[in-house]
Amino acid sequence: MTPDVDFRFLLLLITLTAALHFSPAVSRSNLFLGLTVDPQFKQSDAARRLLRAFRMGLWGSAVAAAILASTAGSLGWALALWAAGSLLCLAVARRGVSAHVVQTPSVREANLTAPAERMPGGLWAVALPFVALGALAMWAWLHPASLPQQLVLHSTFSGPDRFAVTRMGTVMALIGRAAFCCLILTGLGLGILHGSPRRASSGAAMEAERLFRRRILILMLMAEYFLICLPYIQLLKLPPIVHSVWAGAFMGLLGHRLLQLLSGGQGGERWVLRPQSAALDNRAADSHWKLGLIYFNPHDPAFLVEKHIGQGYTLNFGNPWCWVCLAAILTIPRLLAQL
Amino acid sequence: MSLDNGMILRIDPELPTPVYRQIVDGLRIALVNGDLAPDQELPAVRRLAMDLGVHFNTVAQAYRELAQEGWLELRARSGARVKQRAEPPAADTRLDAIFARRVEELAAEAQAHGVPAARLAQQLRHILLKLEGK
């Protein structure tokens, strides 16, 4: 095992464990480890005890995985050990919470007069990355002599480590990969906008939720604009400093935006002056969630739903379109790699 | 139905009344009371279905029924707009009898569930006053 792999693996392990460590803190106030509880319960001693045991178990799994990776050198098995340990901790903690679960009401509501939400920047902001990539592809097609001798296929913290000789196929695959990533981000953005239910239908909670969604959409658009820079940097043979500036700016802005979202809690709940949790109805009932992580509800037309643990959105695996999209996400990059 | 930061439509899928009927009834109350004014845009079928967690066809059916009654104008891309509805002609004796029967059924059901007659009468008076005063 090289020190480079070691460092990356440890970083991944720490990031994943920290994400799970803080996930109960950013969930909605009526959700605890993916189960619906009274918001007061989260402040109780019983909840603190359960959370402490869960977090200790998580970090214990991470330490065990790190030891396995450094002694046996098998990163795959180490990651599997971490995942199994974390899921076990989650299952045990949820068992403790189950005695405090409250039933979700069956009444559902929708605001009939809420203004429609749109993509920040409108259609142009969505289309521009694709137009820019199309223009780059056209330029590469017309000026093959101006292209670099080789293209970087993979980079690590210490720099590029895999290259390919430039052919028109590899150039188009490079641009195609960026376009595909933009397509996924656009699809997710549209899914959040038009394919996910609003939890809060009135008051400050609704406003906070709208702001939260808008910030997520801006984050996705920002990621798209950064992604399209990569093929430009490579194909226009820009100096390495541009790549460094790009990486620094990307990480900085991404980190800032993520922290901003995390500070708001799920659905921007914490941006509301007086904490006001959106009503959860029975379509988000715990029974539709597997371990609080996977949502499966064929009766819900939603494509994306708010996560039950942590922050952000997850797919409704009961919706057949979710499987179609997953299949496309898994197969299209392989097809592009054939070019 | 409430007017807290906008018009809220509530449904309960566990009630014996079909969901599409609950949507029609909820919207009709808002339309009759004037809470939804003419030219007001209603959410697109997909949007409302998503928020209520029901099938798109359920909401589409409710919109179609209200459009047939003359309350809504259905628009391209599954939207709907509140129409300026012409005053309906006075109900004939057959319709009178149907609604009298429905009020009687409602009163009987309320009594069967322990709602006092006086309370029901008060509710009806309140609704009528609201309708006359709009």
Tens of pLDDT, residue by residue over A108-123, are 999 998 888 999 999 9
Q: Report pLDDT for B55.
A: 93
User: How many Cβ atoms from other residues are within 10 Å of residue A110's Cβ?
Assistant: 26
pLDDT at B113: 87
Read off the DSSP letter of residue B102. Answer: H
Output the pLDDT for position A54: 95
Residues of chain A with pLDDT under 50: 1-3
Inter-chain Cβ pairs, chain A and chain B, closer than 8 A? 84
The distance from CA A179 to its chain's CA centroid, rounded to whole angstroms, is: 18
Q: Are A188 and A221 in contact (CB under 8 A)?
A: no
Give the whole-angstrom CA distance, residue A303 versus residue A280: 17
Judge if ipTM > 0.95.
Answer: no
Would an 8 Å CB–CB cutoff place A298 in contact with chain B? no
Backbone angles phi, psi at A277, to 5 degrees: -85, 140
| Residues 69-88 of chain B whose Cβ lies under 8 A from any Cβ of chain A | none
In single-letter form, the type of residue at position B40 comes to Q
Helix (H) or strand (E) holding A124: helix A122-142
The confidence score (pLDDT) of residue B2 equals 42
In this prediction the pTM is: 0.83
A contact test, residue of B50, B55, B58, B75 with most A CBs within 10 A: B50
* Amino acid making up residue A216: I
pLDDT of residue A285: 85
A197–B50: do the CB atoms touch at under 8 Å? yes
Residue B3 has a pLDDT of 41
Q: What is the CA radius of gyration of chain B?
A: 16
Strand segments, DSSP code E, in chain A are 31-32, 35-36, 108-111, 150-156, 159-165, 289-290, 294-295, 304-306, 313-315
| Ramachandran class of A304: left when φ > 0, alpha when ψ lies in -120 to 50, beta otherwise | beta
> Min CA distance, B91 vs chain A (Å)?
30
pLDDT value for A1: 45
Buried b / exposed e along A53-64 (16+ C-beta atoms within 10 A):
ebbebbbebbee
SS3 B52: helix
Which among A139, A145, A127, A335 has a CA at the least distance from the CA of A231? Answer: A139
Four-residue CA torsion sign, A46, A47, A50, A51: negative
Distance CA A175, CA A235 (A): 10
Residues of chain B falling short of pLDDT 70: 1-5, 78, 89, 134
Nearest by CB to residue B8, choosing from A195, A201, A302, is: A201
